[in-house]
Structure 1
């Protein structure tokens, strides 16, 4: 086996979180940073390699908040500071507003006419049967996801971060441990090269379960998305739209101005791919597919028929499943491993990972540097916590709606699209 020179810090995963971590390390003056990923950048299976993601401001954290509320308010505050003020992040944030069910101090929407008035005439033509919600006109919108990812990657490289990607050179097959199995020395890639490092950060999203026993703390869960092609004239008409999100239907965001495609997602508690390993343990194992179940397409067309029926019969130009990793409580898992020295885990996006992207690098590097910058209440919510998953219900919808409110088994999918 060939052995490479030791890096100071090795990051496994060049997705949204991996790039955010690499950038923050480099900005703070760390050197010898290497990032490994099994796919060329940007990865076709990375959840962040997407047209857009929803983002929204939160309240100022209060000592009277519950721990969960305090955590999300603080994380969102850190992230939105970057999305609105950091010169690298800010160009990708679009403050178009956000329409969904929300607290009653916002603009109420109770009829199809109410919904129609939120967008230019002719955009929303549906009857919105049974829809009720609210319109948040400021402090919310969307982020150009793949553009932000590429900016993170480019700036990290400019600051000296080394990216090693590809099915051989970048794909990690295993973590390299000491003989006593009490510390991580680095990782071995598919070309049999050992990449050693003083510190290793595992940030490979849903695929992280292939490299480490998370004691059932992670459940890789997949959602479904598609693109609706528009004409240049339609794309111009649909610019600067507020995000429209139905908690049991799905959402769409204004179209991509270059390719004239509008992303649409159906809302559901997620798909899982359960397998039983040789030890008899159950896991959800991610896989890549640039198609979606036909049932997901049916749900998307229902969303369109109720909101923009002019598009309900239009052929999709693109579709894929998109994986994330759910923790039991949907809080992030960012912590030093309790047994394996020199290993930090940064996983468990739980459907909120991209919005928090700018905060992730800060949180991980604060953890790595041990300088005490992380508030104790925030640290507590992100800790390594296998006690929460002892009797994990793999079918827990975790508060999500749509598709009868049930987690869906990929093994039950009878037909896929041919997009």
Structure 2
């Protein structure tokens, strides 16, 4: 069935960032038979997008771009337009600027690479006074030992993630999308398969924990880090976790810290201005990620499997406090008010995986956010919808293709060009102490 010639039924598995954006985009294009399934009530407490803020940087492709650069910059262009102009998304983009930094020669060379060809957009920061002047007096009181950086004053900032999720969800509901969330009715247990008349297998929908079989003309699997629980991605996905914490501010501090540029150190971590509701400052330590490697069945290869926890490893807390000691030592000992681990799925090349499956003709996969999926939320919805309709522009189609050949002999310990911690991918099985919050 060609979606461009009819109104097929569409089942979306996963009601997080990408699932909601896809549902919204398809409903705006006139598809009226869309159902979204998710195991958790909306917004899901385990969704990476259910967060106070995410980093945003704008961009656009240029004639000099390689194919890989073109794909990434084209997504930036599509997403930037939506964050500026789409009434569903625009209220949640805060264009406050961003500070990029590093504190070792190797890290500095890495960060400088982000500015190549765009040097005129950045101010060089070489000493503590340079960093301190990027924010109001009294915010950055640290000495910034060995830090070097760049300040991009416009075309970047942060997104109120939970607000954008809620906005897209409400608009999708208004347009007729059906959301079935929570266990057992929205909890998917398995995909449904059948053999078609030409003896080729196909996906026909999903079965939920209540035993109900949701049959659809098209199934879109956008379940984030849990996607390969439901389907064999042939080692293309590696569920990887990051760590975050919040520290509370006084009303006076919140007023001072409002409208700050994002500060991101490729080795230490980052922070973004406090949220307006709770006056909490979000803090993240930077590292290549945590895995949770388990062997689910005897004889099978170990795989990383997500789990939810509203605590972080003690070593993560120490890294966050080291970031504060460098930048805002007056907050370095303040207790955390919230913490959690946050999962995404890494592809081998950290490029998204969005494609019609080559074997199951009615299945579209949308996974592999690789830690960069939220800022691209509006663009991903368009890409998935274009993929479903068979109209995705060729260079994007090639970049996002189903590509298991990249995962043959995959190195699960690859840092994938990430820095911080000891420069190694970590495993939660090695964590001995967790930070207790509350």
TM over 0.5: yes
Q: What corresponds to 2:280 in structure 1?
A: 261
Residue 245 (str. 1) matches residue 261 (str. 2): no
Residue 19 (str. 1) matches residue 37 (str. 2): no
Taking only aligned residues, the RMSD between alpha carbons, in angstroms, comes to: 1.2
Q: 2-side partners of 1:54 and 1:283: how far apart?
A: 29
CA distance in 2, matches of 1:275, 1:181: 33
- Bigger CA drift: 279-288 or 156-165? 279-288
Match of 2:3 in 1: none
Specify the alignment match of 2:89 in structure 1.
89
SS of the equivalent of 2:435 reads coil
**Does residue 1:155 correspond to 2:171, yes or no?**
yes
For 2:421 and 2:245, locate their aligned partners in 1 and report how far apart those are by CA, in whole Å: 17
Q: State whether structure 2 residue 67 is matched by structure 1 residue 47.
A: no
Q: Is the 8 A contact 2:95 2:158 kept in 1?
A: yes
Task: Report the Cα offset of residue 330 of structure 1.
Answer: 0.1
Conservation of the 8 A alpha-carbon contact between 1:7 and 1:195: no
Q: Distance in 2 between matches of 1:68 and 1:267?
A: 24
For 1:388, the equivalent position in structure 2 comes to 406
1:63, CA displacement in angstroms?
A: 3.7
Residue 28 of structure 1: aligned partner: 29
Query: Could you tell me how far 1:405 is from its partner in structure 2?
Result: 1.1
CA contact (8 A) 2:8 2:31 kept: no
1:275 Cα deviation after fit = 1.6
1:271 aligned onto 2:268 = no
Provide the rounded CA distance (Å) in 1 between the counterparts of 2:26 and 2:343.
26
SS of alignment partner, residue 77 of structure 1: helix
Extract unaligned runs of 5+ from structure 2.
1-6, 102-111
Of 275-284 and 261-270, deviating more is: 275-284
SS at match of 2:310: coil
CA–CA distance in 2 between the matches of 1:242 and 1:418?
29
Matches within 5 A, 1:346-365: 346-365=366-385
- Name which of 396, 405, 409 aligns with 2:427: 409
The residue aligned with 1:109 is 125
Q: Cα deviations across residues 93-142 of structure 1 (Å, max 9, x unaligned)?
A: 00000000442431010101000001000000000001000000010000
Shift, 1:64, TM fit: 2.8
Contact 2:201 / 2:359 at 8 angstroms: preserved in 1? yes
Tell me, yes or no, if the aligned pair for 2:269 and 2:286 is still in contact at 8 Å. yes
Q: Give the drift of 1:375.
A: 2.1
Structure 2: distance between partners of 1:295 and 1:260: 25
Is 1:170 aligned with 2:186? yes
In 2, Cα distance between equivalents of 1:304 and 1:62: 37
Aligned to 2:222: 203
Deviations along 1:75-110, one digit per CA (max 9) or x if unpaired, are: 000000000111111000000000004424310101
Contact 1:7/1:34 (8 A) holds in 2? no
SS of corresponding position for 2:11: strand
Name the structure 1 match of 2:317. 297
**3-state SS, counterpart of residue 362 of structure 1:** helix
- Structure 1 SS opposite 2:88: coil
Alignment of 1:51-66 (within 5 A): 51-58=52-59, 60-66=60-66
Q: Which residue of 2 aligns with 1:3?
A: none
| Cα distance in 2, alignment partners of residues 311 and 195 from structure 1 | 51
Structure 1, unaligned runs of 5 or more: 1-5
Secondary structure of the residue that 1:379 maps to in structure 2? helix
Q: How many Å apart are 1:277 and its aligned residue?
A: 3.6
TM-score with structure 2 setting the length: 0.92
State the shift of 1:7 in Å: 7.4
Measured in 2, the distance between the counterparts of 1:313 and 1:193 equals 51
**Residue 315 (structure 1) aligns with:** 335
Q: Deviations over 1:176-216 (max 9, x none)?
A: 00046710110000011110100000000001111000000
How far apart in 2 are the matches of 1:196 and 1:281?
Answer: 32
User: Which range moved further: 98-107 or 189-198?
Assistant: 98-107
Q: Distance in 2 between matches of 1:86 and 1:166?
A: 29
- Whether 1:194 and 2:213 are equivalent positions in the alignment is yes
Other structure's SS at 1:322 match? strand
Give the aligned partner of residue 368 of structure 1.
388
Question: Is the 2:54–2:161 contact (alpha carbons within 8 Å) kept by the matching residues of 1?
Answer: yes
**TM-score normalised over the length of structure 1:** 0.96
CA distance in 1, matches of 2:351, 2:358: 18
Bigger mean CA deviation after superposition, 103-112 or 399-408 = 103-112
1:287 corresponds to: 307
1:314-357 alpha-carbon deviations (Å, 9 max, x no partner): 00000000000000000000001111120000000001100000
Query: CA separation in 2, counterparts of 1:333 and 1:388?
Result: 12
1-structure distance, mates of 2:312, 2:322: 15
1:214 equivalenced with 2:233 (yes/no): yes
In structure 2, the residue corresponding to 1:403 is in which secondary structure?
coil
Does the CA-based 8 Å contact 1:7-1:196 persist in structure 2?
no
